[in-house]
């Protein structure tokens, strides 16, 4: 599990070995280490973040949280479709979070057990649910489970960060970013954080 200490160590190692990442640290410093709490609430927020701005997703999540209190499966399932729409959920995302909550209540999914699985098995357990695709699973592993070698190639900000860092003419595709990331194994999660740091620092 990546910790603030191991993250800083990985930054030093990557900057030593890779001039493009070293330039990010030189110009923008080492980013603050951040993480999310593992569990249902974080997955709900990640589902909300799919294909919308982080601000819009956070606003919808905040409305849900204010209405139900703690964001947990039973409270979510007790919400009507109208209430979820008023919170800011699309019909599709309401269906996704209901499916997630239902799987947890029924015992078909155990997030504590998922957290104990190797990366590949954890991803498979998550993407088996409707609405949780590779991006959501990968970002959950990176931010909540703090796995050190996760690499969310479908993330647009990560693709743009890589384009800027490497001086590419065009934003790399997911397949191209997968190949690019091979140079940073087994510290791809730290490389991702550095590329996001570049993206956010040069908006």
What CATH number corresponds to the domain at position 31? 1.10.1670.40
Domain identity same for 102 and 48: yes
Q: How confident is the model at residue 134 (pLDDT cuts 50, 70, 90)?
A: very high
d(C-alpha 107, C-alpha 171), whole Å: 41
Domain identity same for 101 and 177: no
Q: How much is the pTM?
A: 0.94
Domain identity same for 85 and 100: yes
Is 33 strand, coil or helix?
A: coil
Give the structural domain span for 19. Answer: 4-35+150-201
pLDDT tens per residue across span 8-58: 999 999 999 999 999 999 999 999 999 999 999 999 999 999 988 889 999
Domain identity same for 28 and 45: no
Domain identity same for 114 and 159: no
Q: Give 170's DSSP letter.
A: S
d(C-alpha 107, C-alpha 52), whole Å: 30
d(C-alpha 7, C-alpha 1), whole Å: 10
Alpha-carbon separation of residue 83 from 65, 67, 75 (angstroms): 12, 9, 12
Once rounded to an integer, what is the mean pLDDT over residues 119-129? 97
pLDDT tens per residue across span 73-119: 999 999 999 999 999 999 999 999 999 999 999 999 999 999 999 99
Q: How confident is the model at residue 200 (pLDDT cuts 50, 70, 90)?
A: very high
For residue 187 the two structure tokens come to 């510290």
Give me the number of domains the chain comprises: 2
């Amino acid at each position: 599990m990546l910790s603030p200490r191991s993250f800083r160590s990985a930054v030093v190692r990557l900057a030593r070995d890779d001039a493009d990442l070293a330039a990010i640290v030189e110009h923008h410093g080492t980013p603050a280490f951040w993480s999310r709490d593992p569990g249902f609430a974080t997955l709900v927020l990640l589902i909300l973040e799919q294909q919308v701005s982080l601000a819009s997703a956070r606003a919808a999540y905040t409305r849900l949280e204010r209405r139900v209190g703690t964001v947990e499966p039973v409270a979510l399932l007790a919400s009507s479709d109208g209430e979820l729409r008023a919170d800011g959920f699309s019909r599709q995302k309401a269906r996704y979070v209901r499916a997630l909550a239902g799987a947890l209540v029924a015992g078909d999914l155990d997030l504590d057990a998922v957290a104990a699985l190797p990366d590949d098995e954890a991803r498979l357990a998550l993407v088996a649910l409707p609405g949780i695709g590779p991006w959501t699973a990968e970002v959950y592993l990176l931010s909540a489970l703090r796995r050190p070698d996760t690499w969310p190639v479908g993330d647009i900000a990560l693709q743009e960060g890589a384009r800027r860092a490497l001086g590419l003419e065009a934003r790399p595709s997911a397949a191209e970013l997968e190949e690019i990331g091979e140079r940073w194994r087994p510290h791809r999660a730290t490389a991702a954080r550095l590329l996001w740091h570049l993206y956010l620092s040069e908006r």
